[in-house]
């Protein structure tokens, strides 16, 4: 903690993968020295970035069938940065295991899905040269349990790549912090320090924390869904609310060799159900995530119920927007089913129907609800357009960046840190340098 109330150049709120990626980027590639990070918990990456709270997938856009080619191009560029970082760190002395590499496929089942996937392949194969279109026989060679018990007349087709990265994003947070400290041992890193209030006076922000007051010229709030609450207290994002979509998982024994995704519904911003081996244990297959709305900003954190409503906003407008979104025919049916998946007894019996689209012969006794596993995705509701905003939300204000990151925010963490670092240098009056060339040389 900054004892003498010194003013920091940059203060980052939130020690998830977004905040720590920025801490690393600034420390490694800029000459800004006076940087502080505060995190309310006793460790980094304990909320959505924890490996047990997300799907652990480095999303490139190759097997996410709801991404347009433009979106896939942009996500790939950013995911490539994380891929290069973890590959470089793989052999670094003392480095923890950050990732496992498995094959990754998206599986089309039935005539309509098969035709759609065949059409999708040509442009995507240009962007992803390692992506191959494979038929039944090869699918069975790579993933025998995908064919085991399947109706031989059912049409199937898959796109497959060897580049399936399963990442432990919490360990990635630690790696970012450790490497940032190697470059700049004077960084002020404060765990168990919660931001309670933020205000702007003159040329600086005053941040009241659970451990005292701090000042900073530039602030980046990377506090997940909570970011919008603080944004609103500063007058930003007044027309936005959050639809908090919790995701749960089921686990089974080793039935897959790699990641197997199903085809996504274009209207839904949530990853389709998939099965894949755990990042640190290939003997456990994880299926999910489900998606059900909760009125909390943070899963398994009941006080965040009150904060959810604070963030939601007053008046009828957010209620109308949320009702319009939820009562959409497709979304409503989807959300209703997802509610059922979380229920005891009936949930497992319903969810196994989805799982059997991937592994037809999986037995009910093999599928277990993963209790306490799964975070929540802060999807942005725009109360002006009354629509769900797909993708990430970042608000830029007066010397402040506010990041509210739904999925795939972990895959894009370094890409966003790259743009934020440039913006921060600008905020500081271009008195500092962000060495873009070095960043690009290492990570592009």
- Which residues sit at the interface with ligand FAD, rule CB under 6 A? 13-19, 38-41, 45-49, 53-57, 59, 169, 194-195, 222-224, 226, 247, 289, 374-377, 403, 405-411
Q: Which is nearer to ligand FAD, 55 or 217 (CB)?
A: 55
Q: Of 167, 189, 258, give the one whose Cα is nearest residue 36.
A: 189
Torsion of CA 251, 256, 261, 262, to 10 degrees: -90
Q: Measured from the CB of residue 57, what is the shortest distance to ligand FAD in angstroms?
A: 3
- DSSP for 189-220, please give it: EESS--EEEEEEETTEEEEEETTEEEEEEEEE
Q: Which is nearer to ligand FAD, 114 or 234 (CB)?
A: 234
Q: Which is nearer to ligand FAD, 17 or 157 (CB)?
A: 17
Q: Measured from the CB of residue 180, what is the shortest distance to ligand FAD in angstroms?
A: 15
Q: Of 179, 168, 193, 135, give the one whose Cα is nearest residue 51.
A: 168
Q: Which is nearer to ligand FAD, 252 or 378 (CB)?
A: 378
Instruction: Please report which helix (H) or strand (E) contains residue 133, including its range.
Output: strand 132-134
Q: Measured from the CB of residue 209, what is the shortest distance to ligand FAD in angstroms?
A: 7
Q: Please tell me the distance from the alpha carbon of residue 33 to that of residue 67, in angstroms, as a whole number.
A: 38
Judge if the upstream peptide bond of residue 112 is cis by omega within 30 degrees of 0.
no
Q: Measured from the CB of residue 214, what is the shortest distance to ligand FAD in angstroms?
A: 11
Q: Measured from the CB of residue 310, what is the shortest distance to ligand FAD in angstroms?
A: 12
219 touches 71 (CB < 8 A): no
Q: Which is nearer to ligand FAD, 311 or 399 (CB)?
A: 311
Tell me which residue has tokens 């059900």. 292
Tell me which residue has tokens 């002395």. 93
Residue nearest to ligand FAD (CB): 16
Q: Measured from the CB of residue 223, what is the shortest distance to ligand FAD in angstroms?
A: 3
Q: Which is nearer to ligand FAD, 232 or 377 (CB)?
A: 377
At 366, is the secondary structure helix, strand, or coil? helix
Compute CA 402 distance to the chain's CA centroid, rounded to the nearest angstrom.
Answer: 16
* Core vs surface per residue 276-293: b (16+ CB within 10 A) or e: bbbbeebebbbbbbbbbb
Q: Which is nearer to ligand FAD, 150 or 232 (CB)?
A: 232
Beta bridge partners of 391: none
Q: Which is nearer to ligand FAD, 79 or 147 (CB)?
A: 79
Q: Which is nearer to ligand FAD, 224 or 432 (CB)?
A: 224
Q: Which is nearer to ligand FAD, 59 or 432 (CB)?
A: 59
Q: Which is nearer to ligand FAD, 82 or 160 (CB)?
A: 82
At 387, is the secondary structure helix, strand, or coil? strand
- DSSP for 28-95, please give it: HHB----EEEE-SSSSSS-STTSTTTS--B---SSS-TTS-HHHHHHHHHHHHHHHHHHHHHTTSTTP
Q: Measured from the CB of residue 229, what is the shortest distance to ligand FAD in angstroms?
A: 8
Half-sphere exposure of residue 186: CA atoms within 13 angstroms, side-chain side: 6
Q: Measured from the CB of residue 200, what is the shortest distance to ligand FAD in angstroms?
A: 17
Q: What is the CA radius of gyration of the chain?
A: 22
Q: Measured from the CB of residue 349, what is the shortest distance to ligand FAD in angstroms?
A: 22
Beta bridge partners of 156: 109
Q: Measured from the CB of residue 141, what is the shortest distance to ligand FAD in angstroms?
A: 26
Packing angle of the helix pair 436-443, 69-89 (nearest 10 deg): 90
Q: Measured from the CB of residue 112, what is the shortest distance to ligand FAD in angstroms?
A: 26
Question: The dihedral of CA 134, 138, 140, 142: what is its sign?
Answer: negative
Q: Measured from the CB of residue 305, what is the shortest distance to ligand FAD in angstroms?
A: 15
Q: Which is nearer to ligand FAD, 150 or 226 (CB)?
A: 226
């Amino acid at each position: 903690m900054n004892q003498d109330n010194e003013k920091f150049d940059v203060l980052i709120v939130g020690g998830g993968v977004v905040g720590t990626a920025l801490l690393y980027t600034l420390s490694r590639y800029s000459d800004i020295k006076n940087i502080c990070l505060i995190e309310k918990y006793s460790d980094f990456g304990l909320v959505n970035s924890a490996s047990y709270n997300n799907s652990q997938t480095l999303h490139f856009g190759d097997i996410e069938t709801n991404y347009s080619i433009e979106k896939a191009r942009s996500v790939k560029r950013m995911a490539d940065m994380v891929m290069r970082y973890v590959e470089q760190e793989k052999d670094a002395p003392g480095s923890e295991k950050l990732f496992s590499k498995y094959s990754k496929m998206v599986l089309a089942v039935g005539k309509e899905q098969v035709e759609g996937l065949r059409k999708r392949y040509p442009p995507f194969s240009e962007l992803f040269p390692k992506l191959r279109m494979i038929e039944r026989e090869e699918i069975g060679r790579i993933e025998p349990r995908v064919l085991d018990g399947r109706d031989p007349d059912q049409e199937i087709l898959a796109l497959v790549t060897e580049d399936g990265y399963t990442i432990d994003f919490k360990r990635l947070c630690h790696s970012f912090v450790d490497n940032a400290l190697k470059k700049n041992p004077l960084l002020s890193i404060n765990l168990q320090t919660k931001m309670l209030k933020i205000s702007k006076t003159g040329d600086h922000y005053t941040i009241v924390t659970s451990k005292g007051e701090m000042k900073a010229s530039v602030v980046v709030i990377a506090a997940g869904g909570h970011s919008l609450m603080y944004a609103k207290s500063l007058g930003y994002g007044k027309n936005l609310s959050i639809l908090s979509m919790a995701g749960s998982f089921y686990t089974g024994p080793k039935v897959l060799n790699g990641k197997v995704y199903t085809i996504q519904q274009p209207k839904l911003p949530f990853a389709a159900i998939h099965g894949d081996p755990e990042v640190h244990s290939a003997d456990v297959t994880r299926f999910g995530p489900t998606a059900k709305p909760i009125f909390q900003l943070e899963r398994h954190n009941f006080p965040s119920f009150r904060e959810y409503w604070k963030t939601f906003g007053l008046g009828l407008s957010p209620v109308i927007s949320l009702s319009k979104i939820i009562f959409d025919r497709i979304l409503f049916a989807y959300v209703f089913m997802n509610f059922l998946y979380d229920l005891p007894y009936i949930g497992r019996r319903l969810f196994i129907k989805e799982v059997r689209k991937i592994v037809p012969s999986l037995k009910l006794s093999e599928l277990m609800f993963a209790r306490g596993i799964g975070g929540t995705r802060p999807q942005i509701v725009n109360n002006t357009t009354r629509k769900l905003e797909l993708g990430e939300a970042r608000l830029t204000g007066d010397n402040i960046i506010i990041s509210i990151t739904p999925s795939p925010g972990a895959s894009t963490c370094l890409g966003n840190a790259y743009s934020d670092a440039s913006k921060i240098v600008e905020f500081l009056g271009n008195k500092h340098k962000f060495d873009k060339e070095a960043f690009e040389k290492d990570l592009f």
